[in-house]
Chains A and B, each alone.
Chain A
Amino acid sequence: EPEVTQTPSHQVTQMGQEVILRCVPISNHLYFYWYRQILGQKVEFLVSFYNNEISEKSEIFDDQFSVERPDGSNFTLKIRSTKLEDSAMYFCASSIGWSYNEQFFGPGTRLTVL
């Protein structure tokens, strides 16, 4: 069964450093998403991406965040200068369409900012 994969599973970084979280969406999906989940809290939408551009972004997704699809398979989330409050689980998701379509989630990357 196809699945979304994410690497690394756990990333530890120093405050102020740049991190890149990587995702490989399901191959025939066209819509890609990033969500985050701070420990013990709900999953929060960050950004959606379609046709090589951002479709929607939340207030959380400020100038420190960027997304890219560098090739035909990877989808990345970059945080330019990490802050302590960026520590969270980051989930990538993909869907074949954008309305009435299930979003498939990856296993997540746990980001710890020290």
Chain B
Amino acid sequence: GESVGLHLPTLSVQEGDNSIINCAYSNSASDYFIWYKQESGKGPQFIIDIRSNMDKRQGQRVTVLLNKTVKHLSLQIAATQPGDSAVYFCAENIKGAGSYQLTFGKGTKLSVIP
């Protein structure tokens, strides 16, 4: 079946470096994508979103890139900080019969080395 997946399950980066977390999706009907951050023992926290009519969106220290040709999504974190250590999920918003539902990837664990 169609699903959202992640290329790298773990990523370790030095504090201050940039981080790139990748995600592949296969549902061409998805029109909205979200990156969530999940710290241990907490619920997913929204980071940034992007609609399918865009290929790039920037937030504070974060950028999401969408390549619809290859169905690829990435999250770039600039000047990674220890507080960025968490599991990052990409999710696609798929319109079901009655409403939208989020389909999450498995997640990438980001570890920031001080």
> Could you tell me if A56 and B99 are in contact, using CB atoms closer than 8 angstroms?
yes
Question: A2-45, CB under 8 A of B: which get 1 and which 0?
Answer: 00100000000000000000000000000101010000011111
Partner of A43, one of B45, B46, B89, B95: B89
Distance in Å: Cβ of A48 to nearest Cβ of chain B: 5
Set of chain A residues within 8 Å of B36, measured between Cβ atoms: 105
Set of chain A residues within 8 Å of B95, measured between Cβ atoms: 99
Set of chain B residues within 8 Å of A99, measured between Cβ atoms: 32, 93, 95, 100
**Is there a chain A Cβ closer than 8 Å to B27's Cβ?**
no
Partner of A91, one of B44, B46, B100: B44
Give Cα A108–Cα B107 distance, bound, in whole angstroms: 17
Where the two chains meet, the residues of B that have a C-beta atom closer than 8 Å to any C-beta of A are 32, 34, 36, 41-46, 49, 51, 89, 91, 93, 95-107
Distance in Å: Cβ of A77 to nearest Cβ of chain B: 14
Q: Is the interface of B mostly helix, strand, loop or mixed?
A: strand
Distance in Å: Cβ of B40 to nearest Cβ of chain A: 11
Give Cα A105–Cα B97 distance, bound, in whole angstroms: 22
9 contacts between A and B (CB under 8 A): A48-B98, A48-B99, A48-B101, A93-B43, A99-B32, A100-B93, A103-B34, A105-B36, A105-B43
> Could you tell me if A103 and B102 are in contact, using CB atoms closer than 8 angstroms?
yes
Distance in Å: Cβ of B58 to nearest Cβ of chain A: 17
> Could you tell me if A56 and B49 are in contact, using CB atoms closer than 8 angstroms?
no
> Could you tell me if A102 and B43 are in contact, using CB atoms closer than 8 angstroms?
no
Distance in Å: Cβ of B33 to nearest Cβ of chain A: 11
> Could you tell me if B43 and A106 are in contact, using CB atoms closer than 8 angstroms?
yes
**Is there a chain B Cβ closer than 8 Å to A104's Cβ?**
yes
Set of chain A residues within 8 Å of B34, measured between Cβ atoms: 102-103
> Could you tell me if A107 and B43 are in contact, using CB atoms closer than 8 angstroms?
yes
Of chain B, the residue at the smallest CB distance from A97 is B100
Distance in Å: Cβ of B11 to nearest Cβ of chain A: 17
Give Cα A56–Cα B93 distance, bound, in whole angstroms: 13
Give Cα A44–Cα B101 distance, bound, in whole angstroms: 10
Q: A106-B43, A108-B43 are in contact. List 10 more A-B contacts (CB 8 A).
A: A43-B102, A43-B104, A45-B102, A55-B99, A56-B99, A98-B100, A99-B93, A100-B51, A102-B34, A107-B42
